[in-house]
Amino acid sequence: MGAAGSKLEKALGDQFPEGERYFGLENFGNTCYCNSVLQALYFCAPFREQLLEYYANSKNIGDAEENLLTCLADLFTQISSQKKKTGVIAPKRFVQRLKKQNELFRSYMHQDAHEFLNFLLNELVDILEKEAQAVKSEPETSSPPEKTANGPKHAQANGVSKEPLVTWVHKNFQGILTNETRCLQCETVTARDETFFDLSLDIEQNSSITSCLKNFSSTETLNAEDKFFCDKCCSLQEAQKRMKIKKPPHILVIHLKRFKYIEQLGRYKKLSYRVVFPLELKLSNTVEDADIEYSLFAVVVHVGSGPNHGHYVSLVKSHNHWLFFDDENVEMIDESAVQTFFGSAQEYSSNTDHGYILFYESIGASNNKS
């Protein structure tokens, strides 16, 4: 491990970024799904900064009870405050807490990295929301209501519905989709908004992220038994439905649906399709039709031919260098090596290392507004 670390330091030489740390994570028996996602999140700069800031502030409050958020913050703090520039850290407390919290991750079986990411982000939001509620309900007796500084800015309407709290997790990852349905009889458009932390895209052989996003937003006709109940016509009608991105997130997480249930086989199969993901992505299927540019900074890769076994590794861009994280091992890779993880153009290929979760950060501060 030490040798690998010193090798990485030698490779970067005097280009080693000031104050940065590159640490591998120990595997506790099939915890690569967790390690690969944690590395991607650690190198998501705004998320890391806000998590470390949260941790520094919460330490002053006293001994808060341990939860997944404190364990993650503790792990990130541990990595960022290491004296050495490279090495290995055991995320033991975090993994123990994860298993305690969710029985899904308790076994030593192969787990899904996307399920873990989803669970983690939602869990962090729940914890932050509960903390904000606790802070709000405490000073009620002694201080006027307008003093609840960290709570939602919007007052409670009719004392029942309240504006949901926007946490720093939301500010980084949350986007808004709008589901538009147009009745073909009366032309009325019904729009329904929904929030998302990541986009799950169906994939096709020899395609690209751009074409997968186009398919995601393509118009679908609802007819026969799928007719839409139109409120204006007060009856079932043929309609056209489409999904658009109303508010693009600051960090766009794209999950490629590589595991597909095959009816005839009665099980899931891994799709090793070649799906090109660019280093710079233009997002054009937005409501405003304004192109938003994103830059790729991390890829979680599934290694293996099937869904129930295999391994996860991650590729991370840090200070214009690409790094390859495989549990305890960290090495530098060339930017051109990223394209070897697009997938296989042939059905049966010896290459089983395929991009599975992509992390893009928006370029420019225009949509970094809170």
- Residues marked as catalytic: 32, 311
What whole-number distance in Å separates Cα of residue 255 and Cα of residue 272?
A: 14
Q: Over 32-72, what HEC string results?
A: HHHHHHHHHHHCCHHHHHHHHHHHHHHHHHCCCCCCHHHHH
Sign of CA dihedral 357, 249, 49, 76: negative
- The two tokens of residue 93 are 């407390």
What whole-number distance in Å separates Cα of residue 167 and Cα of residue 121?
A: 11
Q: In the chain, what are the helix, strand and coil shares in percent, each to the nearest 5?
A: 35, 30, 35
Contact 298, 314 (CB under 8 A): yes
Strand, coil or helix: 137: helix
What whole-number distance in Å separates Cα of residue 188 and Cα of residue 58?
A: 50
Please, is 265 exposed, middle or buried when counting C-beta atoms within 10 Å of its C-beta (0-12, 13-18, 19+)? exposed
**Separation of CA 264 from chain center:** 32
Contact 301, 323 (CB under 8 A): no
Can you name the residues that pair with 252 across neighbouring β-strands?
360
Can you name the residues that pair with 228 across neighbouring β-strands?
237
Contact 206, 345 (CB under 8 A): yes
**Residue 339 has what DSSP assignment?**
G
